[in-house]
Structure 1
Amino acid sequence: MSRRSPIKTIHSHCHHLGWDNSHAPTARIEPGSTLELQCLDAGNGHFRPDSTADTVRSLAADRANPLTGPVFVDGAEPGDILAVTLDSFAPSGFGWTAIIPGFGLLADQFSRPALQLWSYDREVQAPAAFGTYARIPLRPFAGTLGVAPAAPGNHSVIPPRRVGGNLDTRDLCAGSTLYLPVEVAGALFSIGDTHAAQGDGEVCGTAIESAMNVTVKLDLIKQTPLAMPRFSTAGPVTRHIDGAGYDVFTGVGPDLLQAARDAVSGAIDWLTATQRVPAEQAYMLCSVCGDLRVTEIVDLPNVVVAFYMPRMVFD
């Protein structure tokens, strides 16, 4: 993708917490404009290189997932689509992954806080070390990006929404374009929760959470109703991590969520037994590089969910 010089930088101090269409815009732009937005990490700067697992306990949930913006797009109105083309990511070089008590797919099995700190070359972005256990290929992307909902009031940033939000979809990386339904005048676009890497599912609740600058181009598609977000990618989406194959674990049963839990539990059991990874670290490792997929959903009453653990992270 060709690089454009950003016409405006939205600094990280121009951020908000929660979706609210009454937030004053931090910038007003014409459709087709390119912006650089400085994004804080999901912990709002809570974690430092000397943080420990105890630091997780003091993480304030009401300060999490700050969003840079909102940006008012001239001419945007309900019934339009905002097309967000993700041009590039400039990661900070520092990140964190945590088990947060009460949060995550297996919260009942992992009740104690845990923390993994990451340091990586922000220029080369070579695979980052997960202690002595694995090396994780990096693929920066934005976990949360969306526009303001029409419903009044302040809405939590944690659940994803029809207008985008906390999608946590790793393929929203450089080269992808996200299409969002506009519900309010100006769209009021915001972005944050940037990740250096994540597996599909983000099963422990966090990825490699990492502050970074994101360059985007914002366009309008007029009066084209869209029910839910959709996106397009510039090329293959798994090639960066599938070179050595996978070990795959399944969950089978009538409940989709329980099948997902069973698949991830199977992967954790395998990691502790064969790779000698402690269970808490295995859970976080699954979250940053393993992929949770629904592989069969039509042969009711049971469904099949599979968890793919890439072998190349252990090479």
Structure 2
Amino acid sequence: MSSIHSVKRSQSHLAWDNSIPPVIIIPSGDTVTFSCLDASNGQITQSSTPNTLSSLIFSQLDQLNGPVYVQGAAPGDTLQIDVLSVDTADWGWTALIPGFGLLSDEFPDPALKIWKLNKEEQYAWFDKEKGIKVLLRPFAGEMGVAPGKKGAFSTIPPYATGGNIDTRHVCAGAALYLPVEVEGALFSIGDGHAAQGDGEVCGTAIETPMQVTVRLTVRKDRPYTKTPHFQTAATGGANVRDGRGGGEAQYYCTTGVDSDIREATRGAVRNMINFLETEYQLDRVAAYMLCSVAGDLRMHEVVDMPNYVIGMMLPTSLLRGARA
């Protein structure tokens, strides 16, 4: 049985920087439980109003808990993050923050919604009078490893090494794969979300404090992991709805991360081709065709500039028994 380690709320930092010393050192395969504040770093509370948004200290947003040094991780490896559980607070918030969001020029005024989360039944009322409720699918918006380049990098955008990927499918039961660029990987996590749509178009989800438990495993057999990859949970409401069969499907996803949305999209497809070549010995032409007839492109994150996260998602059922 792997030991369980813990990282406290106070063990946090505000930049991706490989010079930040780890808060704990663990063997590969161990589990870690993180206690995290919401993306506002506690600046927004259940009693906050839209006026609170005008006094936000932006340099304190999107803090990270960690980093965790995983023994045996070296540049060129892959860190596998198995999401074991995500437990949110019983409240959350969604805001229109001036200057943020896909339509920030059309919605310049601050707005704030405080949610009551029904954790037992896993929903929250958006508008009870109109009968509109949102299913809770909690996940961590920030998951990443330290970049190989020296210096401090903002926690706001996503990167090839992860970061603010804001990808709703990486919930409990899913596995995330990140390319390691420094010794020990230096994994950090934060930005609890109770629910979010693909893209996070207004710039916030249902933001909430969270306690999340993950297993961190070093992989030496995935040289094709150059950007975040993930596999969705086998069952449950957090998976993508399979339009072909009408039920819940399990997907493997590769991503492209780039400041140019077309290049991010091209990267997602190219990375899926590389995955299929390596894992299933498909030639590049066949892999490209399979992406076209069975893969789904998704906009996972489109507001945390300067980078976009685009995913190519392929149902794992297509590949059962196909591994050479």
> TM bucket by the smaller chain?
0.7 to 0.9
- Paired with 1:293 and 1:224, the residues of 2 have a C-alpha distance of 23
Task: State the TM-score, normalized to the length of structure 1.
Answer: 0.73
Could you tell me how far apart the structure 2 residues matched to 1:228 and 1:209 are?
25
The one of 195, 198, 202 aligned to 2:196: 198
| 2:206 partner SS | coil
- The worse-fitting range, judged by mean Cα deviation, of 41-50 and 183-192 is 41-50
In 2 relative to 1, CA 59–224 (structure 1 residues): closer, same or farther, beyond 3 Å? same
SS of residue matched to 2:85? strand
- In structure 2, the residue matched to 1:30 is 27
User: Alpha-carbon deviation of 1:57?
Assistant: 1.1
Residue number among 164, 172, 184 corresponding to 2:162 in the alignment: 164
2:80 is the counterpart of 1:90 = no
Amino acid at match of 1:128: A
8 A Cα contact 1:6 1:36, kept in partner = no
Indicate the residue corresponding to 2:124 in structure 1.
Answer: 128
Asked if structure 2 preserves the Cα contact closer than 8 Å seen for 1:6 and 1:215, the reply is no
- 1:10 lines up with 2:12 in the alignment: no
Structure 1 residues 217-257: Cα deviation after superposition (integer angstroms, max 9, x where no partner): 000112642211101112351359xx9xxxxxxxxxxx979
Q: Which residue among 130, 135, 151 is the counterpart of 1:153?
A: 151
Distance 2:122 2:203 in 1: 24
Structure 2 residue 78 is the aligned partner of structure 1 residue 76:
no
Unaligned runs of 5+ in 1: 244-254, 258-291, 295-315
Give the C-alpha shift of residue 6 in structure 1: 5.8
Q: Within 2, Cα distance between the matches of 1:62 and 1:160?
A: 17
Whole-angstrom CA distance in 2 between matches of 1:121 and 1:50: 18
CA contact (8 A) 2:169 2:240 kept: no
Q: Which whole-Å deviations, capped at 9, do the CAs of 1:288-313 have from their partners, x for residues lacking one?
A: xxxx957xxxxxxxxxxxxxxxxxxx
Paired residues for 1:38-53 under 5 Å: 38-53=35-50
Q: How do residues 229-240 of structure 1 correspond to structure 2 at under 5 angstroms? A: 229-235=228-234, 237-239=239-241
TM-score by length of 2: 0.71
- Corresponding residue of 2:206: 208
Runs of at least 5 residues in structure 2 that lack an aligned partner in the other structure: 247-259, 263-296, 300-324
Structure 2 counterparts to residues 170-189 of structure 1, below 5 A: 170-189=168-187
Provide the rounded CA distance (Å) in 1 between the counterparts of 2:240 and 2:138. 14
The amino acid that maps onto 2:198 is D
Asked if the contact 1:86–1:175 (Cα under 8 Å) also holds between the matched residues in 2, the reply is yes
Asked if 1 retains the 8 angstrom alpha-carbon contact of 2:2 and 2:29, the reply is no
The Cα shift of 1:194 comes to 1.1
Q: 1:148 to 1:54 in 2, by over 3 A?
A: same
Deviations along 1:191-234, one digit per CA (max 9) or x if unpaired, are 00110000011000000001110010000112642211101112
**TM-align CA RMSD:** 2.1
In the alignment, the residues of structure 2 paired with residue 38 and residue 186 of structure 1 have an alpha-carbon distance, to the nearest angstrom, of 21
Query: Displacement, 1:60?
Result: 1.4
Instruction: Measure the CA separation in 1 of the matches of 2:149 and 2:22.
Output: 17
Distance 1:125 1:20, change over 3 A: farther
Structure 1 stretch displaced more, 101-110 or 113-122: 113-122
Quote the Cα distance in structure 1 between the aligned partners of 2:43 and 2:37: 10
User: Quick one: which amino acid aligns to residue 90 of structure 1?
Assistant: D
Question: Hey, what does 1:260 align to over in structure 2?
Answer: none
SS of structure 2 residue aligned to 1:120: strand
* Structure-2 separation of matches of 1:128 and 1:137: 7
Partner SS for 1:54 = helix
Tell me, in whole angstroms, the C-alpha distance in 1 between the residues paired with 2:241 and 2:116.
24
1:260-291 per-position Cα deviation (integer Å, ceiling 9, x unaligned): xxxxxxxxxxxxxxxxxxxxxxxxxxxxxxxx
SS at match of 1:170: coil
* Distance in structure 2 (CA, Å) of the matches to 1:83 and 1:256: 26
1:184 to 1:18, Cα distance in 2 relative to 1, 3 A? same
Give, as a single letter, the amino acid of the residue that structure 2 aligns with 1:201. G
- CA–CA distance in 2 between the matches of 1:89 and 1:154? 28
1:274-293 alignment, distance < 5 Å: none
Q: Which residue does 1:263 correspond to in 2?
A: none
- Equivalents in 2 of 1:129, 1:42: separation in Å? 21
